[in-house]
Amino acid sequence: MKKTSKQIEPNENALTVNNLSVSFKTERGLLKAVDSVSFTIPKGSVLGIVGESGSGKTVLCRTLIRLLPESNLNIEGSIDLFGINVTELRKRQLRQLYKNVASIIFQDPLTALNPVMKVKHQIAESLKLHTETSRSQRKQEVIDILELVGIPDPQIKANCYPHQLSGGQRQRVMIACAIASSPTLLIADEPTTALDTTIQLQILQLLKSLQKLNQMTLILVSHDLGVVNYICDYVAVMYAGKLVEFGKTSDVLDHPYMPYTKALLDCMPSLSKPKSHKLQSIPNSMPDPFSLPLGCRFAPRCTYVQSRCVIESPKLISDSSEANIHEYACFFPIKPIVSKVALTSQTDNENT
């Protein structure tokens, strides 16, 4: 399993999320899309957020930079991004954050890029806000960035409209827009989902190399554990708005504690597994966000379910037996040795 060789100093955290809840006011009542999520990642690391669609992963990552329209939104808890308290930022300060600190790329470049604006103008837009340069200089910078993200013939492609490019090129253009402001945090919201499988790897490699080159902290949202395994240092598993498992990628994927993570892993087809290996699927679907189960939200679908799971909601607990951080929310984790102590307080586990 891949691990970054970079030495991460303790206390140098990129992002600390504490007890974050996000709810929408809807006609049917309050919809809690993200429920009491807490985690911490160090600078320069890659975090993968995984979960089924509707698990709240997109809402979570967009809330991290307050990108959601806030008219019917309620955010509780705190987000500490490089020492900036994101939840407290005012509109103008938020724009400063976007200009200099954080960028995001979306799933579908076809809808995220303006269809009636040339590629070069869309990239120049981010550049212009970030740095004060002359027009001709900026022209060159746009070409440089396009070259950096691996677009062939950047001089020609810069004058294209998004629909004139291929899917992979469009995604590269969106990445170019995002990194033009040299952000320290890049959020990639399912960047490869809309692409052909052959292109997916190229884009992931590009993201990885850019992350290394610019020393960025990268948050990658995906429902593909293979993608996460390939690129991420940390992984956060979401289920029905809750963070159910968090830790180093190698720990979580090699020894999942939470039955949901294991179920996700079992769903993954693998070429290395023998053909006779039966692919699993998780029965039923996610609970209706308006009528969540009382206890553990995964309980109705869990094969390990016991009576306690239905009545009581498990808190995120840390496995203190290991040196590395590995948190999970389950009363009956799948482990070789059942842990002795379960710490309910999360604040103690911030540092690895």
Partner 1 sequence: MKFIIKKLSILIVTVFIASIFGFIFEHLIPGNPAVAILGPQATPHNVAVLTTKLGLNKSPVQQYFTWIKNFFTGHFGYAYSSGDSVKTLIAQSYTETLELIVGSQVLAFLIAIPISVRAAVKPNKIFDKFTSVISFGFYSFPAFVVAPILILIFAVKLGIVPASGYVGPSQSIGQNIKDMALPCITLALGSFAVYSQILRSELVNLLKEDFALFAKSKGISKYKIVFKHCFRLSSLSLVTISGLQISTLITGAFVIEYIFQLPGLGTLIINAINSKDYLVIQAVSVLVVMAVATINTLVDISYAFLDPRIRREN
Partner 2 sequence: MKTDITTKKHRTKVKLGIFFWLCTFWIVAVILVAVLAPFLPLDSPNKTFECQPFLAPNTSHIFGCDDLGRDMFSRVIYGSRVSMFVGIVSILIGMLIGGTLGMISGFLGKKLDTFLNTAANIIISFPTLIFLLAVVAVFKHSLIVITLSIAFISIPLLFRVIRSATIAVSNKDFIQAAIVLGSSKFRILFVEILPNILSLGIIYGCLGIGSAIIAEGTLAFLGLSVSLPTPSWGNMIAEGAQSYLRRDFLITLWPSIFIIVTVVCFNFISQRLEHQFNSSDNKV
The residue within the footprint of partner 1, chosen from 23, 36, 126, 222 (CB under 8 A), is 126
Q: Of 171-179, 191-199, 243-251, 286-294, which part binds partner 2 (CB under 8 A)?
A: 286-294
Residues that contact partner 2, how many (by CB under 8 A)? 11
Report, in Å, the least distance between residue 106 CB and partner 1: 5
Asked if 300 interacts with partner 2 (CB under 8 A), we say yes
**Per rule CB under 8 A, is residue 28 in the interface with partner 2?**
yes
| Only segment of 62-70, 268-276, 290-298, 343-351 that touches partner 2 (CB under 8 A) | 290-298
DSSP 192-257: TTTS-HHHHHHHHHHHHHHHHHHT-EEEEEES-HHHHHHH-SEEEEEETTEEEEEEEHHHHHHS--
Q: Which one of residues 177, 203, 227, 264 is an interface residue with partner 1 (CB under 8 A)?
A: 177
- Return the amino acid letter for 255: H
| 293 near partner 2, judged by CB under 8 A | yes
Task: Kindly state the smallest distance separating residue 15's Cβ from partner 1, in Å.
Answer: 16
What would the x/- binding string for partner 1 be over residues 181 to 200, using CB under 8 A? x-------------------
164 is an interface residue for partner 1 by CB under 8 A:
yes
Member of 79, 97, 145, 263 binding partner 1 (CB under 8 A): 97
Buried b / exposed e along 263-280 (16+ C-beta atoms within 10 A):
bbbeeeeeeeeeeeeeee
Phi then psi dihedrals of residue 216, to 5 deg: -80, 155
Asked if 307 interacts with partner 2 (CB under 8 A), we say: no
Q: How far is the CB of 145 from partner 1 (least distance, A)?
A: 13
Q: Which stretch binds partner 1 (CB under 8 A): 66-74, 78-86, 242-250, 271-279?
A: 66-74
| Nearest alpha carbon to residue 312 among 292, 331, 291, 290 | 331
∠ Cα 22 194 67 (to 5°):
30
Residue 306 CB coordination number (10 Å): 13
State how far the alpha carbon of 82 is from the alpha carbons of 95, 213, 262, in Å: 16, 19, 33
Give the DSSP letter of residue 344. -
Cβ-based nearer residue to partner 2, 196 or 288: 288
DSSP run (H or E) holding 310: helix 307-311
Q: Give percent helix, percent strand, percent coil of the chain, each to the nearest 5.
A: 35, 20, 45
Which residue ranges make up the site for partner 1 (CB under 8 A)? Answer: 65, 67, 69, 71, 95-100, 102-104, 106, 108, 111-117, 125-126, 129-130, 161, 163-164, 174, 177-178, 181
